[in-house]
């Protein structure tokens, strides 16, 4: 039978399994299967040539029992409401698993940013905020960057929101540039958090990472910093990386900094000297110690999961592995660091950014790193203990930790 790759159906299936193990009552279970609020908008945007183009956008507030909705805005040609719903659900479990006082949300616009000029991007960003702004706010819903959105786009969005209100509200959006109230350390936070949990995983598994190998699928924000920090913090050796156009491979090692510089100069990885070309599919099947999927969802499927040879799978991307593939990986003994644990560093430093905006007092980089390390290390061990106690894969254990926290908050509020 064909695998169902609808991300929201996958998110609901994962929740169903957790609800059953937790013995959730039917009302709580059904409530957690759906977003609490969804907004769909149609955005007219004036293009540079004078024409008006119409874009579709979404904002989903999945669950706000533990705090305001929190989650990035993705600009992608294949964006769908169901993808945004799934990502909003995973944000809900993510803020719960790292135990920060926020709920889960997500936004998206169907567009290809690679075809938009800077001025068109600015008009789209401002138009999106005019359309959904009333539902946003530091006490309601706080967006952030995600695939193909940047600190500059966050700056335009914050400015539009503040113009609508006529007052300063830097905490309405995170991932801002540092001069506008962004946090030190936000840029590499997702990858850094992932590196901290790989470090903890290797320690409990008794694996030495110094000189061991890593491969990275997706060489954007999360992937590039994973390469740099994997090398710097863990002593890992990068052997392969890819982006949407293809990948490069060298079994004796690729200098991470040189590859990041090459990508920044040329916009692609292909043509990087001293490495051969490799496809995205081949990269996933390399014999490496740590594999980082850091692109998009649904890349590790029942058809290729059996061929993965990594020891640790650190999911920096959201939803890279299907439930069928998960079972195969568990049987093979691949240690999976599930997405909403592995990539929670980004939202954790986004939360730190909001705290600093509220205090109007800003932390030094070393304080951000130290607090992020503490949050990620605690979250890892909470999930690991659960997985040992219940003899469950890490993803299921993470679900049990997160869903029980959200369910408890819903019950305490008297919602269910």
Q: Which of 243, 326, 353, 396 binds ligand NAD (CB under 6 A)?
A: 243
Task: Evaluate whether 199 touches 384 at the Cβ level (below 8 Å).
Answer: no
> Closest approach of Cβ 287 to ligand NAD, in Å?
20
Q: For residues 338 and 404, what is the distance between their CA atoms, to the nearest angstrom? A: 17
**Active-site residue identified among 70, 94, 106, 375:** 106
| Structure tokens belonging to residue 348 | 């954790």
Given the structure tokens 């951000």, which residue do they identify? Answer: 368
User: Percent helix, strand, coil in the chain (nearest 5)?
Assistant: 50, 20, 35
> Closest approach of Cβ 342 to ligand NAD, in Å?
9
> Closest approach of Cβ 293 to ligand NAD, in Å?
8
Residue 148 binds ligand NAD, judged by CB under 6 A = yes
Residue 343 binds ligand NAD, judged by CB under 6 A = yes
- What is the DSSP track for 117-133? -HHHHHHHHHHHHHHHG
| Structure tokens belonging to residue 11 | 């998110």
> Closest approach of Cβ 256 to ligand NAD, in Å?
14
> Closest approach of Cβ 278 to ligand NAD, in Å?
11
Q: For residues 385 and 59, what is the distance between their CA atoms, to the nearest angstrom? A: 35
Given the structure tokens 């990035």, which residue do they identify? Answer: 72
Q: Which of 11, 86, 241, 295 binds ligand NAD (CB under 6 A)?
A: 295
Residue 83 binds ligand NAD, judged by CB under 6 A = no
Q: Which of residues 180-199 bind ligand NAD (CB under 6 A)?
A: 190
Question: What is the torsion angle, in degrees rounded to the nearest 10, for the CA atoms of residue 151, residue 157, residue 163 and residue 168?
Answer: -50
> Quick one: which H or E segment has residue 60?
strand 52-63
Q: Which of 127, 143, 230, 346 binds ligand NAD (CB under 6 A)?
A: 346
Residue 117 binds ligand NAD, judged by CB under 6 A = no
Is residue 106 part of the annotated active site? The answer reads yes
Q: Which residues bind ligand NAD (CB under 6 A)?
A: 145-148, 190, 217-223, 242-244, 280, 294-296, 316-318, 343, 346
Provide the annotated active-site residues: 106
């Amino acid at each position: 039978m064909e695998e169902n790759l609808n991300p929201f159906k996958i998110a609901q299936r994962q929740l169903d399994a957790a609800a059953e193990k937790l013995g959730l009552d039917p009302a709580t279970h059904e409530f957690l299967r759906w977003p609490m609020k969804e907004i769909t908008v149609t955005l007219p945007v004036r293009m540079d040539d004078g024409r008006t183009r119409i874009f579709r956008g979404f904002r989903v507030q999945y669950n706000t029992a533990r705090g305001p909705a929190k989650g990035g805005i993705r600009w992608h040609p294949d964006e769908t409401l169901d993808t945004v719903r799934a990502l909003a659900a995973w944000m809900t479990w993510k803020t719960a698993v790292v135990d920060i006082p926020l709920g889960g949300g997500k936004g998206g616009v169907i567009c290809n940013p690679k075809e938009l000029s800077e001025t068109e991007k600015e008009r789209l960003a401002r138009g999106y905020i005019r359309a959904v702004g009333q539902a946003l706010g530091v006490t309601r819903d706080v967006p952030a960057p995600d695939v193909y959105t940047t600190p500059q786009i966050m700056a335009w969005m914050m400015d539009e929101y503040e113009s609508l209100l006529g007052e300063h509200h830097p905490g309405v959006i995170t991932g801002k540039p540092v001069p506008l109230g962004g946090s030190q350390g936000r840029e590499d936070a997702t990858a850094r958090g992932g590196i901290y949990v790989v470090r903890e995983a290797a320690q409990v598994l008794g694996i030495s990472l110094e000189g061991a190998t890593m491969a990275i699928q997706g060489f954007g924000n999360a992937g590039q910093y994973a390469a740099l920090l994997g090398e710097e913090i863990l002593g890992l050796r990068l052997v392969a990386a890819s982006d949407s156009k293809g990948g490069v491979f060298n079994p004796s090692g690729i200098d991470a900094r040189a590859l990041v510089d090459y990508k920044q100069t040329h916009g692609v990885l292909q043509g990087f000297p001293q490495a051969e070309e490799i496809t995205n599919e081949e990269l996933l099947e390399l014999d490496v110690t740590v594999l980082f999927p850091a692109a998009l969802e649904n890349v590790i499927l029942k058809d290729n999961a059996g061929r993965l040879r990594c020891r640790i799978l650190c999911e920096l991307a959201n939803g890279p592995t299907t439930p069928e593939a998960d079972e195969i990986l568990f049987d093979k003994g691949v240690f999976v660091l599930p997405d909403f644990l592995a990539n929670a560093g980004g939202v954790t430093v986004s939360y730190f950014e909001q705290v600093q905006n509220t205090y109007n007092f800003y932390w030094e980089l070393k304080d951000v790193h130290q607090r992020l390390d503490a949050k990620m290390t605690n979250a890892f061990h909470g999930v690991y203990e659960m997985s040992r106690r219940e003899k469950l894969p890490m993803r299921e254990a993470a679900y049990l930790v997160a869903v029980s926290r959200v369910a408890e908050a819903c019950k305490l509020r008297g919602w269910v």
